[in-house]
Amino acid sequence: MLRSLLGVLSLSAFAHSRSVPRSTTITSSTPLGTAQGILDTSGATRYAVRYATAERWQESVVATNWQLPNDFTDPGALPLQCPQLDADDSTFSEDCLSILLYVPPRTPGPAAGNLNTLVWIHGGSFDSGSATGTGLDGSNLAVATNAIVAVLQYRLGALALLAPNGPPNLSVLDTMNAIKFLGQVLPSFGGTASAITLAGQSSGAGMIRTLLATPSAQSLFKSAILQSDPMDYGFLSTATQTILQDNFNSQLPCAATNTSCLSSLSVNTILSAYSNTNSAATSLAPSTGLGEPIRPVLDGTLVTSRLDSTAPFPATSKPLLLTTVLNDAGPTIYNVLFPGTSPVPADFFAPTVEETLGDERAQTVVDSSYYPIDPNGDEDARVPLQLLGTDYIWRCAVWTFAREWVGNGATGLAWVGVFEVGATYPDNEDIPYCLEEGVVCHEDDIEIVFGTVPSPTAAQAALTLEIQTRYRAFLENADPNVPGLATWSPATTDDVNALPLGGNATAVDVGACTPSFWGDAVQYDYQFYDI
């Protein structure tokens, strides 16, 4: 139960209206035509652009001319999001392959063409979210890092990952095409294709991990920032994807080979079929989990490396920043699994772990000292369950990845951090636990990074300044260390040297993330299910 529910989180659909008034229109000449942008009050200029087009369930094609999204004529208009569940039809379109580009003020001269670019890939379990999600306005981040910030959209859910008679990783190809498009136009805004860093949170980070496992994507970016990636899940196997695909196809009123019928289906029909398959996924294939049951596939042609501890990593020199937050599992435990404010009896702990992990793994966890609780006591079982969920799905899995990245055939460095200060994301505002002092829930790092926290506290403002300063250094020098800030040591195979980001701690407690426990004594899901 815990495994199957962890990570069911999505970005709020829209943080602002379709068109945001701005005072000045800016034009820039690009190889693909004239770009029209809107000058932001921060001094950055925002450009909206369609980066590719795609027929339904076909590979996308990079745009050959500069166009506003959705055939809009207003440069201030925001793109429609990709089709997704629980969104009004008027807010989405299959014509959704768009980028919001934020360009900082430029100083004329030789340095004007040396801007780095940070490409943000939104989260949302691969089936929700958009470039216009809450807090994703890249203007402040662009100014603070003196970098171009590109926030992109990619196809979601069934329209991306369940093509009835086509390739399984369409959203991965979309993301690659977005970066290829940027490579053509960045020089027009002071950037360069050779200075692109990818960044993303949750499934957005998972998308970046997919690109790291894709040989044909390696030349597209130089470094990456992965925030709260649920690495425990791993990629889908082709066998599991086939099971899900067959179930989805059975929900449609068309044969998988009837392209004419498939093309005529309404989006709502497709979303309804997707919902059914998504809900049934764990019963069809236990390795899926409800958090991201339909996700990129290790297909052996596009995505060729497992990028987990079960096989050698491909050699690479890409530097990585890998972060989690203090209470990644908080929303799931306190809102999805056990909602409300009443404590959960202590004797619920062991059965919940057993249902999640199975008998053998559960017994090892319950017998360990890492998640202590007296089954006959009056403790709240949610306390150790939250710690367990955070370790299992996010923190320890990421730490294992970091050790493998720097020691198993890779030559790149990795820096590991834990957000101990955050800003309550709108998804978490109705969860009392996430409002408690000192709690940092999944997604609470987003507005810190973007500098979009409404009325930040002193601690939030300080951490935003630190993170944006470190990210700027990482973009420019492939190293997040900056004079005046605490030294951030890179991970080694023995010690990931996790840095507390914000808060008063001087070090992050290793706890169950020691190499001898998670990934060894207790297997991750990708090991247990031999994904």
Question: Within a domain: residue 390?
Answer: no
Is residue 51 scored above 70 in pLDDT? yes
Question: Within a domain: residue 372?
Answer: no
Cα angle value 428/502/436 (rounded, 5°): 35
Q: Once rounded to an integer, what is the mean pLDDT over residues 521-530?
A: 95
pLDDT band at 409 (very low <50, low <70, confident <90, very high): low
Question: Within a domain: residue 92?
Answer: yes
Q: Which range of residues forms the domain containing residue 180?
A: 2-236
Catalytic residue among 10, 139, 202, 309: 202
Q: Indicate the range of 113-117, 246-250, 382-386 predicted with least confidence.
A: 113-117
Strands laid side by side in the 115-121 sheet: 25-30, 33-39, 45-50, 98-103, 147-152, 115-121, 191-201, 223-227, 320-325, 414-419, 499-501
Strands 98-103 and 147-152 turn out to be antiparallel
Question: Within a domain: residue 260?
Answer: no
Q: Once rounded to an integer, what is the mean pLDDT over residues 89-108?
A: 91
Is residue 410 scored above 80 in pLDDT? no
Question: Within a domain: residue 27?
Answer: yes
Q: Once rounded to an integer, what is the mean pLDDT over residues 248-265?
A: 96
Q: Once rounded to an integer, what is the mean pLDDT over residues 240-251?
A: 97
Reduced DSSP (H G I as helix, E B as strand, rest coil) percent helix, strand, coil of the chain, to 5 = 35, 15, 45
Q: Are 259 and 265 in contact (CB under 8 A)?
A: no
H-type helices in 112-191, by residue range? Answer: 139-145, 157-161, 170-185
The predicted structure's pLDDT at residue 5: 43
pTM above 0.85, yes or no: yes
Is residue 6 scored above 80 in pLDDT? no
CATH number at residue 142: 3.40.50.1820
Is residue 23 scored above 80 in pLDDT? no
Q: Are 128 and 11 in contact (CB under 8 A)?
A: yes
Q: Is 202 a catalytic residue?
A: yes
Is residue 530 scored above 90 in pLDDT? no
Question: Within a domain: residue 466?
Answer: no
Question: Within a domain: residue 391?
Answer: no
pLDDT band at 412 (very low <50, low <70, confident <90, very high): confident
Q: Which two tokens stand for residue 30?
A: 């690009």
pLDDT band at 215 (very low <50, low <70, confident <90, very high): very high
The total of structural domains in the chain comes to 1
Question: Within a domain: residue 131?
Answer: yes
Q: Residue 109 contacts by C-beta under 8 Å, 6 or more apart in sequence?
A: none
